[in-house]
Structure 1
Amino acid sequence: MASGPWTTRRAELRRAAAAGLLALAAPALFAQDCGKPVYLTFDTGHMGVAPLVADVLKRENIRVTFFAAQEKTKEGDGSLGQHWAPWWKARAAEGHEFASHTYDHVYWRADLPDGRFRVRPSSGPQEGRDQVWTAAQYCEEIQRAATRLREVTGREPLPLFRAPGGKTSPKFLAATRACGWQHVGWAPAGFLGDELPSEKVSNDQLLARALRDIRPGDILLAHLGIWSRQDPWAPAVLEPLVKGLKERGFCFRTLREHPQYAGWIAQKEERRK
């Protein structure tokens, strides 16, 4: 990434300090020490690899951002259920960040002429059934996951969300932003491929592609377990990927420190006081 955005960010930090907001800006200030940041994010899944992911993150001493929904899991009562609550609490104690992935993993499907949206949950009581929602209903769904994250982590989630599948429209993004949520996607090279079938793309291929293509500033996407992948991506790819990127001079930051989102987060948190 060119130095321009980071120069701009330093100016923003000076202004924040003058306004008495240095505490909010401190994580971003730390990010200035790194010329090649990447932003690793995890969406929830069946959680089967969640303990292994946590082990790698702790061993490598990196912080990530988790986007959480209440999805079906291999054990327990869902990814945000009571079974996994201690796991989330432990990640909060390690300094990771959290954001909503909608509670019932609700996909945007289409904009409708009357201003509403066609959506489809992939979890919960309406799983697999198309629904017609207003923007307010979708925003409430984002908030449901954020509220549950606050309960299980003891920390306020970031005012960010990721739509399931990354599926959005300009109208949908404007509506969710208007009610206080900024959407986070991922970089093309940041799609780490753990959703792809093992028989078509091996872990070795995914690792080689990521190490070749990832660039400074990229947001990276993986999951805490994908049902359809028989050869789990984590930790087989995760640990060598983290080590390999570090060897290439990259460092890992959370979305709180991302220049596109840091100002939005600081503004929302200041208003919450």
Structure 2
Amino acid sequence: MPLRTAVLALAAPLLTAAGIAQAADATCRGTVYLTLDTGNMRHAEAIANILAKHRVKATFFVAQEKTLRGDMALDPTWADFWKARVAEGHAFGSHTWRHGSFRKDEAGGKVRYHLMDGSQTTLDAAQICAELKAPDTRFAELTGRKLDALWRAPGGRTTPNTLKAAEACGYRHVHWAPAGFLGDELPSDVYPNEALLKRALANIRDGDILMAHLGIWSRKDPFAPMLDPLIAGLKDRGFCFATIPNQ
């Protein structure tokens, strides 16, 4: 079955659906790749239970984000959670340390970086690399396992300078397929869960990378419980789930 490109095509080093399809199970009608960004971690345990229920492995992209508990997602208080996910065989990539937004290329290979508190700064290639490596270092301290050589920009926003710097320090960017945007960060009064679920089940295709969060501040009716029927429905369609390969 033909695969659709599900990763940003801004530069040759980026992963493509065709490239990761080599890891697909030949007995499946197709393979999809569930990815989960940290967010506020509100539904982290519930989502982990859903994954375990369906025996699905996901790829987690981790950042030092504030959680609903008042701590940060890569604080030692979350070590047991991450150790358990490592033991389950999931994959892990960097989501940057400060969860900022790479907005605009500037001279000398630099990039304008917007932070969560509304401030801005400019990063050179070494500083971009440090933003990606800091979660890697902390994750290894918490779990004994380094991250895979993968990263995802918050909001999926990248620039040519950012991608070049990330590749130079060993990280390849992973975006998501249009149909794989599950919409868990959209307002629930406009995009109710049942509508998002129906859309995903109808539109997701072989090779698609799916994206959701372990918790979102703004959405009143959380989408996280819908991962249960979503996974079940995609399996009913003959899809298998795989992690993004670390190569």
Give the SS at the match of 2:104: strand
Aligned to 1:239: 228
Which residue type is aligned with residue 194 of structure 2? D
What is the match of residue 248 of structure 1?
Answer: 237
Aligned length: 232
Q: Secondary structure at the match of 2:109?
A: coil
CA contact (8 A) 2:3 2:207 kept: no
* Residues 29 and 196 of structure 1: CA distance in aligned 2, closer, same or farther (over 3 Å): closer
After the TM superposition, which segments of 4 or more aligned residues of structure 1 sit over 6 Å from their partners?
none
> In 2 relative to 1, CA 87–171 (structure 1 residues): closer, same or farther, beyond 3 Å?
same
Larger relative contact order (Cα-Cα within 8 Å, sequence gap ≥ 6): 2
Percent identity of equivalent pairs: 52
Q: CA deviation at 1:170?
A: 2.5
| Structure 2 residue corresponding to 1:58, chosen from 48, 52, 55 | 52
Which of these residues, 127, 134, 145, is aligned with residue 137 of structure 1? Answer: 127
Partners of 1:180 and 1:3 lie apart in 2 by 26
Contact 2:96 2:153 in 1 (8 A): yes
Cα-to-partner distance string for 1:229-257 (whole Å, 9 max, x where unaligned):
0001011x11000000000000100001x
TM-score (norm 1): 0.81
Task: Give 1:57 shift.
Answer: 0.4
Mapped pair 1:188 → 2:178: yes
Deviation at 1:76, TM superposition (A): 4.6
What is the match of residue 142 of structure 2? 152
Q: Which runs of 5+ in 1 are unaligned?
A: 6-27, 257-261, 266-273
User: Between Structure 1 and Structure 2, which shows a larger proportion of helix residues?
Assistant: 1
- Tell me how far apart the structure 2 counterparts of residues 245 and 42 of structure 1 sit (CA, whole Å): 17
Alignment partner of 1:31 out of 20, 25, 40: 25
Aligned-pair CA distance for 1:4: 11
> C-alpha displacement at 1:33, in angstroms?
3.9
Cα deviation code 1:206-246 (max 9, x no counterpart): 000000100000000000010000001011x1100000000
Superposed, which structure 2 residues align to 1:80-159 within 5 Å?
A: 80-122=74-116, 127-159=117-149
Q: Distance in 2 between matches of 1:105 and 1:161?
A: 12
Alpha carbons 1:186, 1:218 under 8 Å: kept = yes
TM-score, normalised to structure 2, is: 0.89
Give the distance between the partners of 1:172 and 1:182, measured in 2 at CA: 11
Q: Which has the larger radius of gyration?
A: 1
Contact 1:98–1:149 (CA under 8 A) maintained in structure 2: no
Cα shift at 1:29:
5.3
Q: How much has 1:196 moved relative to structure 2?
A: 0.2
What do you get for the CA RMSD once the two structures are aligned? Answer: 1.9
Q: What per-residue deviation string (whole Å, max 9, x for no partner) do you get for residues 122-154 of structure 1?
A: 2xxxx3210011011011110001111222232
